[in-house]
Structures are given as C-alpha cells and as structure tokens.
C-alpha cells in the first residue's frame, strides 16, 4: 500500500491576544436557547410553562447515537423561538427562563467513580448527554461504548485554530480536574494508558510544566509538532501510537477526547455538575477586550460581547466579520445575534483587512493540493462545482475533505476554496 505522509504546514498563531487578555465568568444568563433541529430534529420532552432543573432532559437526540439534551439552568420553559445557530442557520430553539436558583437534578449527586465500573461510567456519559466539545459534538459515550480493546485514551489538546484558547483556559485554570477527568476516561475505556497530546511551542510551556507535575500512573504527555491540522484525529493517533485507521480511532485501538470534554467529565464526577458550561474565546481587532468567558450553553453572544466591552468605537459593521468558531474551520455569520453551544469555541470579530481582496485568479500553482492533509485537489473540485460536473466532484473524492480550511489559507490568490468544497461535500452527501 502506498502511504502518503500528511504535509506539515505551520500557520501563524494569534493565541497571545486572548491568553494575555481577560478571563470572565457569565453563568447566570436571563434566558438560554437550545437548538431543536441540530444536528437533526430533536424530540421535545417538556412543554411550555414546565419547570425544569439544571441537568434535566428537555430534548432528545434520536437515532443511532441517541442522547438527551439537558437544561443548562434551572427555570421555566418559556417557548419556542427562532434564533441563529452558529452554523449560520436560523432554527427553532427552546427558550428556558433562568430562575437563578441553580437547582441541580439529583441524578448526578454523590457519584463515586471509584466504585463505578467501566459500563456505569459510559452510561453516565450517555445519561448526561455529554458530547465532544472540540467541534464535532459527537456523543462521548459512543466512543467509549466499545467491546474492542483500547490501548490508550488520547486527549486532543492541540487546539489547532490560530485564535482559539478556550481549551487552554479551561485546562490552565483546572489542571487537577483535567488529570482527574483523564483518570476516569481511562477507566471508562478499560485502559491504563492516557496520553495528553499538546503542541510543542513556547506558549504551551507553562501548561506542559504544570501538567507534568500532576500526571498520575499510566499518563504521559506527547508533544506534537506545531503544525496544522495537528488536531486532526487521524494525525494525532498516528503520531502518538504509530498506528493508522480508516474510519474511527477505535480501529487503531485508541479513543480520542477533547481537553474541555475531559474537564467537563471531571466536574460531573466530582461535583455532580451536569455538562452545561464551557469557555468561549472572544478575540479580534474589533473587540474592545480580548479573552475568554466561561458561559452556559445557549447564551446570547450579544450579551457576552458586552462583557468584553462591545465593539471598538467607529467599527464599520459593513466591513466587519463575525466568525463563529475558528478562522480556519468556522464560518462568517450574517449577524452577531446567535447563541453558544457545547461545540462553539470562539467568536472572532475582524475587520475586512485580513481578507484583503486579491483578484481571485487561479495561478495553477498547486499549493492548495500540496498542503491538503488528505491529498485532494481543491481547485479541481471548485472548478467541477462551477461547471456543474457533479460526477467529477464525486470522482475527486470531495467526501474525504476534513474541512480544515488549509487550502483557502495557503492559496496566494486568496480563493475561498473551502466554502466551495463544503458546498460540494454537502451536495454529494444529499445526493447519497
Ligand atoms: S493554491 Fe490557489 S492559485 Fe494555487 S492552484 Fe490552488 S486555487 Fe489555484
Ligand atoms: S478544507 Fe478540505 S480540501 Fe481544503 S485542505 Fe482541508 S481537507 Fe483539503
């Protein structure tokens, strides 16, 4: 078999902007909003006017990986309203009015993870509706509910996006909880080996030193090269274990979980706190203060923006981009009036200048293909889309795109290849 190496591309980082910025907590929003149609239509478990506790199931994700969606606050179901989701889609959301009492359901009280077996820990992941907080939002239990042997749990602490420091902040402020979480993720996986995969770069040195001091038996730190996309699961698994896989890490006897997910599991086990909060990075040249805020899932971004002092004076909104998620993998929003979720890592507000308009003529340089980690030909896919040649789009294997955004980043003509490829991928998916 011919094995092609993943190209290792270094990209410029801007993490110092938020690492050296402010850290806030905003855990008492007046209302929270939970999507009722994402990633697919959810079943309503509560009616308007019902009282709910924090951690009570209010919606149900159905299908193969069914999990409940829990209320992040205690309060009352106020209604169903249309709101913007950070995938740039307007959708129905369940509005819950906070009673500010933070009354938590009994289900997660007095847990003793030392007395729980592997299956009970996985069941807890399921009943608490835990999802991966690195971006994909895949139900956590589905990774750990396996009868295949697991060699190691790998914590993905690469946080590849150049502006985002939400995982960094969560772990920096909770190193003990992070290690505690890893201990029980290892137990849930039935392995005695846990590896923290983090990029080897100056900005990470203090956190690496701090974690090194509290590692427990069977745990180690793996230093990744400072390349993009080092946070891609396939890349991490191959680097850490030397093994490869086709579809899922478990084929290579590994389970990969995100760093914030690990701390969230620890908070559930240790404090009985249901998954309900995460750090979101607010950063960019148009925000008065840069930094991170610990907030409830479903909080209005406009409220959070105010905590950071709002936008800079004289911000020209027609030349300002609100990016939900990272600059590489996120998307420009039509509005800042959207809500947070377990998978939103950042809100980035940048003036147009970073998107300097260059005449978008393809130079035929091949740089996009050279840097594509899965060895696609981005420009050819874009051209096939433009001419409506869907058969060609399929032949070019657009379905293998991991939507890393690197092709757009490296293109000297600043051609937005990623959006075209996302559209092509969605089109091919819909066509079955
Ligand atoms: S990197 Fe840009 S200019 Fe070069 S081949 Fe790809 S699309 Fe064309
Ligand atoms: S976005 Fe897709 S096509 Fe572009 S570099 Fe990443 S994997 Fe390749």
Write out residues with Cβ below 6 Å of ligand 1: 362-368, 379, 411-413, 415, 417
Ligand nearest to the CA of 361: 1
Contact criterion met (CB below 8 Å) for 294 and 316: no
Instruction: Give the separation between CA 170 and CA 294, rounded to whole angstroms.
Output: 9
- CB 6 less than 6 A from any atom of ligand 2: no
Using CA positions, which residue lies closest to atom 8 of ligand 1?
362
Long-range contacts of 205-211 (CB under 8 A, 24+ apart): 206/172, 207/168, 207/171, 207/172, 207/175, 210/172, 210/175, 211/171, 211/175, 211/178, 211/179
Contact criterion met (CB below 8 Å) for 307 and 145: no
Residue 241 in 3-state DSSP?
helix
Q: Which residues contact residue 390 at a Cβ distance below 8 angstroms, ignoring those fewer than 6 apart?
A: 384, 427, 428, 431
Instruction: Give the separation between CA 274 and CA 431, rounded to whole angstroms.
Output: 38
Using CA positions, which residue lies closest to atom 6 of ligand 2?
404
> What pLDDT score was predicted for residue 8?
82
Using CA positions, which residue lies closest to atom 4 of ligand 2?
407
What's the gap in Å between 362 CA and the centre of ligand 1? 5
- Verify cis geometry, omega within 30 degrees of 0, for the bond prior to 192: no
Instruction: Express each pLDDT in 144-153 by its tens digit.
Output: 999 999 999 9
Mutate which of 360, 368, 383, 417 for ligand 1 pocket (most atoms within 8 A of beta carbon)? 368
Residue 129 in 3-state DSSP?
coil
Using CA positions, which residue lies closest to atom 4 of ligand 1?
365
Task: Give the residues of the chain that fall short of pLDDT 70.
Answer: 1-4, 353-359
* Structure tokens that stand for 352 in this block: 């147009």
- CB 401 less than 6 A from any atom of ligand 2: yes
Q: What does pTM read for this prediction? A: 0.92
> What pLDDT score was predicted for residue 1?
42
Domains annotated on the chain, with CATH: 107-271 (3.40.50.11540), 367-430 (no CATH)
Mutate which of 405, 411, 424, 428 for ligand 2 pocket (most atoms within 8 A of beta carbon)? 405
Ligand nearest to the CA of 414: 1
Using CA positions, which residue lies closest to atom 8 of ligand 2?
372
> What pLDDT score was predicted for residue 356?
53
> What pLDDT score was predicted for residue 317?
82
Contact criterion met (CB below 8 Å) for 323 and 349: yes
> What pLDDT score was predicted for residue 358?
56
Instruction: Express each pLDDT in 15-24 by its tens digit.
Output: 999 999 999 9
- CB 295 less than 6 A from any atom of ligand 2: no
- The number of residues in the chain equals 432
């Amino acid at each position: 078999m011919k094995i092609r190496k993943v190209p290792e591309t270094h990209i410029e980082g801007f993490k110092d902007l938020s690492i050296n910025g402010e850290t806030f907590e905003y855990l008492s929003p007046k209302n929270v909003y939970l999507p009722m149609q994402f990633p697919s239509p959810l079943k309503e478990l509560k009616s308007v006017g019902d009282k709910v506790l924090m951690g009570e199931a209010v919606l149900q994700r159905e299908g193969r990986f069914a999990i409940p969606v829990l209320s992040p606050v205690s309060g009352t179901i106020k209604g169903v309203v249309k709101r913007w989701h950070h995938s740039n889609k307007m959708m129905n959301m369940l509005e819950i009015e906070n009673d500010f009492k933070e009354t938590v359901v009994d289900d997660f009280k007095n847990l003793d993870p030392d007395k729980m077996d592997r299956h009970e820990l996985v069941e807890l992941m399921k009943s608490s509706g835990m999802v991966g907080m690195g971006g994909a939002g895949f139900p956590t239990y589905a990774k750990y509910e396996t009868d295949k042997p697991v060699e190691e749990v790998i914590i993905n602490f690469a946080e590849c996006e150049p502006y985002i420091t939400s995982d960094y902040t969560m772990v920096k402020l909770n190193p003990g909880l992070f290690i505690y979480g890893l201990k029980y993720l290892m137990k849930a996986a039935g392995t005695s080996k846990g590896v923290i995969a983090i990029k080897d770069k100056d900005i990470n040195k203090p956190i690496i030193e701090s974690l090194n001091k509290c590692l427990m038996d069977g745990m180690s730190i793996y230093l990744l090269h400072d390349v993009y996309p080092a946070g891609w699961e396939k890349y991490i698994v191959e680097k850490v274990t030397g093994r490869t896989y086709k579809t899922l890490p478990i084929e290579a006897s590994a389970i990969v979980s995100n760093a914030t997910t690990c701390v969230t599991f620890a908070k559930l086990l240790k404090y009985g706190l249901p998954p309900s909060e995460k750090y979101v990075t607010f950063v960019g040249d148009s925000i008065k203060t840069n930094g991170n805020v610990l907030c409830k899932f479903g909080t209005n971004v406009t409220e959070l923006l105010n905590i950071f002092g709002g936008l800079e004076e004289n911000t020209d909104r027609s030349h300002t981009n609100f990016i939900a998620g990272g600059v590489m993998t996120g998307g420009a929003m039509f509005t800042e009036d959207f809500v947070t979720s377990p998978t939103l890592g950042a809100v980035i507000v940048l003036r147009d200048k970073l998107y300097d308009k260059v005449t978008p003529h393809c130079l035929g340089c091949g740089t996009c293909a050279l840097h594509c980690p899965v060895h696609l030909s981005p420009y050819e896919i874009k051209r096939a889309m433009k001419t409506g040649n869907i058969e060609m789009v399929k032949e070019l294997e657009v379905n293998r795109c991991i939507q890393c955004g690197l092709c757009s980043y490296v293109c000297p003509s600043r051609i937005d290849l990623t959006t075209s490829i996302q559209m092509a991928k969605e089109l091919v998916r819909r066509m079955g």
